[in-house]
Amino acid sequence: MSVNHILPFVSTIIMLFFTVSVLQRFFVRRQPHFLFWGIGLAMFGAGSFAEAYLALAWNKWVFFAWYLFGAALNAAWLGHGTLYLLVRKKWVHAVTAILVLGSLFAGNLMLQAIPKLDEAVFTTDKIISEQYGTKALEAGEPVPAGAQTITTTYRGEEVTAVRGILPLGAPVRLTTPFFNIYGLLTLVGGAIYSAYLFWRKRVMPNRVIGNVLIAAGALLIGFASTLTRLGYGEYLYLGELFSAILMFAGFRFAARPQPDEVMQSAPAAAD
Amino acid sequence: MTRDNRTNSKSHIPKGSFLFEKVVPVALAVMGIVMLGLILFAAGVLLGIVKF
């Protein structure tokens, strides 16, 4: 068992504490941004747990959870929480409806992909992020060492592809950039914007630092996911772990109690 | 009075702080640029420019 097999367990435990901490705040304050953050963090945790499980054994429903919650949805739900915090307008509810419907649509696409999964290619010798996708090879492109290939018809052409668990061109994979672009823009953009507002007003240094840490953590996982897309999946779990630590630390930092005088100016700074 | 002064200094960004005067603005700018880069990459995947 390699370090990469252990990291998701650690990330899962951190995300569990983080999720409970955020949801506790939701149940006390009833503010929707805590709910969306809590759901997004629970998805992040589910993805980490699925990685940990898939390091030991195969289960198609765990893979379902890993891809849908861990790869596709969690950033968007986290970011939507930030949108609720920063923008108190009615159109945010319409975005919520789009997010929920889009998530259900992605879930349905993932359900449709389940019977087509190439389970035979799964191995516990490799982490799941290095074996989930089937990738068509360009003409003359060398086959990666140790990879299994398959010749299949794709978009009307016969292609050679590196075998992966999800079939070539699985529609659910096309949904992930939409969710991740939205998640990056709202979660990272929202944290940067919040940090900038507090910094410009010269108040609440804890929220400046907290938001910087949250933005850094969210960017880190985005960066690690991008590396996975480029074929460097071995960094994903380390990125997830640091991301979980940075975001949790940022949340704790930003949530520190403030003196009453300054708390009154906070909503103005956040709006 | 002493307590109030201490509280207020904690809730305002300290003047002349290297962290807040230099590190934070640079970090915010760099993170904004990286964020845009990642968004462009994801858009490239959507448009088929980046193969996966």
pLDDT at A271 > cutoff 80: no
Which residues of A lie closer than 8 Å to B, measured between beta carbons? 133, 135-136, 138, 173-174, 177-178, 180-181, 184-185, 188-189, 192, 195-196, 199, 202-205, 208-209, 212, 215-216, 219, 222-223, 226, 229, 258-259, 261-262
DSSP H helical segments within A142-201, as ranges?
Answer: 171-183, 189-201
The Cα A86–Cα A162 span in angstroms is 44
Mean pLDDT for A160-183 is 91
For residue A167, the SS3 value is coil
pLDDT band at B16 (very low <50, low <70, confident <90, very high): confident
Q: Directed axis angle between helix B24-47 and helix A205-229, to 10°?
A: 30
Cross-chain Cβ contact A223/B8 below 8 Å: no
pLDDT in tens, A108-133: 999 999 999 999 999 988 888 888 98
In chain A, residues with a C-beta closer than 8 Å to the C-beta of B20 are 199, 205, 208
Buried b (16+ CB within 10 A) or exposed e, A171-198: ebbebbbbbbbbbbbbbbbbbbbbbbbb
Q: Is the model more confident about A109 or about A169?
A: A109
ipTM value, please give it: 0.81
pLDDT of residue B51: 66
Lowest mean pLDDT of A74-78, A155-159, A184-188, name the range: A155-159
Counting one residue from chain A and one from chain B, the pairs whose CB atoms sit within 8 A come to 90
In this prediction, residue B3 has a pLDDT band, given cuts at 50, 70 and 90, of: very low
